[in-house]
Chains A and B, each alone.
Chain A
Amino acid sequence: MTVETAKHRELGLTDSEFELIVAKLGREPNDVELAMFSLLWSEHCAYKHSRKLLRRLPTEGERVVMGPGENAGAVDVGNGHAVAFKVESHNHPSAVEPFQGAATGVGGILRDVFALGARPIAILDSLRFGELDSVRSRHLLDGAVRGIGHYGNSIGVATVGGEIYFEEPYEHNCLVNAMCVGLARTEDMVRAAAAGVGNAVVLMGASSGRDGIGGASVLASAELGEGDEAKRPTVQIGDPFEESKVLECCLELLAKGLLVSLQDLGAAGLTSSAGEMASAGGVGIDLDVARVPLREADMEPFEIMVSESQERMLAVVEPAKVPEVLALCEKWQTGGAEIGVVTDSGRVRVLRDGEVVGDMPVEALVDGCPLYDLEPAEPEGWIYGNRATLGTDATAAQELLALLAAPSIASKRWAFEQYDSVVGSRTVRRPESADAAVLQLPEAGNAIAVSIDGNGRRVACDPYEGTVEAVLECAQNLACVGAEPLGLTNCLNFGNPEKPATAWQLDRAVSGLADACNELGVPVVGGNVSLYNEGPDGPIYPTPVVGMVGELPDPARTVGSAFAIAGDAIGLVGPFAPTLAGSELAKQRGVLDTGLPRPDVTAVAAACTVVRDAVRAGNLSSAHDVSDGGLAVALSEAAIGSGLGCRVDLQPLRDRGCAPEEALFGEGSGGFLVSGERGALEQLGATLLGEVGGEAIEIAAGDRSVAVPLAEAERAWRSLPGRLGDEQ
């Protein structure tokens, strides 16, 4: 074995991948080239275990302006405007250093969106941690929430929603997924493809340092384990001020028509952005590393090419416009340096003061990585643990209070109050006031609703049905505020795809995602895959996180999730057939097992239309998707949010064949809890359950009937801050 071949293994390449590189180059790669290949051929950049699966996803639609392959997806929202959005993971950096990991996760997704020429207007986060009684989980939660707030607040983009789940399998490997939504005038938008031989390549923003070197291959494409402390230098440090300046600078450059194309620098830094721009444009790029502004003067060419310093953007500019571009960089007090040129060579060449130090065909570098077929095998039975925290002898009232106090269900006000949710003057529905965030778009004359969802526990029970449910829950959340889905983005967080059980989960989840999107007619306009999410105790729950953007014509015609008027009737809409499979109650009882019932997607879609139309017509006082903890929790949330109690009888569900505890706490897709005038609810075809009013949550369910004072329910639901421990 030669020295070279040992080195490629350290960089995460297999022997056969290395041999393929040698064949494509016709020689052994030098250090610069090997570093670049190792990053672009990493799982994180090449999607080598997921790309084939992702071809199943529907990506076309009438409203799609930009689809997968661009920095973010975008859909038309009318009046010459488009909404760009994407969700991305920053899991491993956050597990190593939660504050900076989460902060730079936000920074990265913001750049993806403004790289299109869209001004970021909203951030949502989907977070997963181990159980709250773990000190490590509380530390990660606190750091991640602070980090998200630090970056989003400082840059002035509203954080309007999100979700946090606490489950044992995330104990070692937390998940931090951030979604950004941006608004653009369609004519100002720009693609990432480099074009125009002879055009200049300009690097903007922060200078390049040794931070984050090898992040994509070392952190993102391998399992976490012992020695993660030593990986801390591979986590980047965020500087929201620099990002704010480069954001404003880029938007002004685009508004003035000064850029041919624009791309952010994320994982693998200059290597991936230059390679991908050249690949998309079918051209070559020459870069001179001596012209890259550096934080440390003695950086090697390979270090400059793979640096993951944050807050940098790469643009292609016509030569005559370079001075104007650099002048605007100066105005915004951000970096701007002409570092290369677009060529017709079809090669990425790295130069230092004119001397070639790396020379690779774009095709080999960007698209040459072999794609692997998974070897899926369905595991036998439930491969995750069970931990009972609630006895089977608990009364229904005790169960309801335990569910309301479950960290995954309890109010997350502690977290979202650390985020600026109002900057931008668009936020019509703030966090926890409705099932989806609603943002008005005066420019387009309408509004959008945004939701992010993904219950990993249910996906673990059944990867296919669980993923279908995640898509349906997003669609239901949008319907509750009167919005119709326009497009979907997703982040597939899974364990090691080389293991058959994880491969099977991934395969089934992608099929569920594809089928649900096809049936709902919602295109997938972008996404991200995060694999190798494992700790010493095994893989995380398979966690596809789905982000959906919908449109509503009138931001004044939307409702919240809380009851609004005493005396209103309470009804249930949709094909809700709850069971305890995969439910929060099953988790607390320690009886989780495989299998979920199949949701009737067509019927759920029809119910979404009914609710959406009723909200838009102003016929409802409230609408709330029945989700974690079932109908009893949904009723409690609607009651707590309004300060109004309720009296309901679940006999109609029992008539559908539900046992009392299934009617109370069973979960499943397709349930909408609505309130309004009795006549209006009857007109919808809602199943009437009871009435809003009183100071208790009273639910008749045969021998499991519950009556809990509203104040007691609220105390349980708001109990999270008291359980965050001394380190808070």
Chain B
Amino acid sequence: MIWGVVQFPGSCDERDALHACEVASGEARLVWHEERDLGGVDAVVVPGGFSYGDYLRAGAIARFSPAMEAVAEFAAAGGPVLGICNGFQVLCEAGLLPGALLRNAELRFTCRQVELTDASGRSLSIPAKHGEGRYYAPDDVLDELEANGQVAYRYAEGHNFNGSARDIAGVSNEAGNVVGLMPHPEHAVDPLTGSTDGLRVFEAVAGAGARA
């Protein structure tokens, strides 16, 4: 499986994401933001960082990049896409995922190891680090997401530091092939740096794409 990792000016975690993809399944390459062609990759990561500086609203500019047009087409065709942190924000801005990410309830950037629960109830320990990670969607949308099984990750009790609605840390699209989450699975692929639970996120997305 070949992963493509989109790189915007201002991306921070693209090298870590590349490494994580390699650990997860062997091959990965960067996709420059000006590329309109994803070059035949099997899955895409939109990584964390501050794309184009994010001085406007997180992800608001990146969604217009040529690479994101390609990602939208790729997603529409059922290709697996994983958005991490800023990548999640970009996917929400692009309309590929429902909802929006608002400033943390305490209005501060926070970096902390958090416990998550995935859709099947398994728990994961993964670092989170962001200032705008409070997941928001109107109640009817939240009800629908829950009914459709689109809540991919929730913060465990006591770990929802940003004030996300219904403890939601990550969601998927209706088809299940596009997944976004605020915590950083690419920083959790090595026992030396904390945990390897992040690999399960990459594996899940690769699998979801295969089913879509």
Contacts and interface: CB of A to CB of B under 8 A. Distances in A.
Interface string A392-433: 000000000000000000000000111111111111101000
Interface string A114-130: 00000000000000000
Interface stretch (A147-155, A354-362, A610-618): A147-155
A423 B109 CA distance: 14
A244 B10 CA distance: 6
Contacts of B190: 425
Interface string A127-159: 000000000000000000010011001111000
A155 B53 CA distance: 9
A240 B110 CA distance: 18
Given A154-B50, A241-B53, A418 B108 contact: yes
Interface string B173-190: 000000000001011011
Contact of A555 (B53, B187, B192): B192
A239 interface: yes
A423 B192 contact: no
A423 B12 contact: yes
A239 B193 CA distance: 30
A239 B53 CA distance: 8
Contact of B16 (A242, A333, A416, A424): A424
Contacts of B13: 156, 423
Contacts, number: 84
B184 A422 contact: yes
Chain A contact patch, size range: 20 to 34
Chain B contact residues: over half helix, strand or loop, or mixed? Answer: mixed
B9 interface: yes
B116 to A, nearest CB: 15
A440 B189 CA distance: 14
Nearest to B19: A425
Contacts of A156: 11-13, 49
Contact of A425 (B49, B50, B54, B193): B193
A519 to B, nearest CB: 34
B187 A425 contact: yes
Most chain B beta-carbon neighbours within 10 Å: one of A153, A242, A419, A427? A153
B159 to A, nearest CB: 13
A423 B22 CA distance: 17
A287 B146 CA distance: 64
Contacts of A420: 12, 109, 111, 129
Nearest to A439: B193
B121 to A, nearest CB: 26
A240 B9 contact: no
Contacts of A153: 12, 50, 109, 111, 129, 131
Contacts of B15: 424
Contact of B111 (A241, A248, A422, A426): A422
A556 interface: yes
A424 B193 CA distance: 10
A245 interface: yes
Contacts of A419: 109, 111
Contacts of B129: 153, 420, 422-423
Contacts of A556: 192
Contact of A149 (B10, B16, B109, B186): B109
Given A240-B50, A426-B193, A440-B192, A418 B111 contact: yes
Most chain A beta-carbon neighbours within 10 Å: one of B10, B190, B192? B192
A245 B190 CA distance: 28
Interface of A: 146, 149-150, 153-156, 239-242, 244-245, 248, 332-333, 416-428, 430, 440, 555-556
**Top 6 A-B residue pairs of the complex, sorted by shortest distance between their CB atoms:** A156-B12, A241-B53, A154-B50, A425-B16, A422-B187, A420-B129
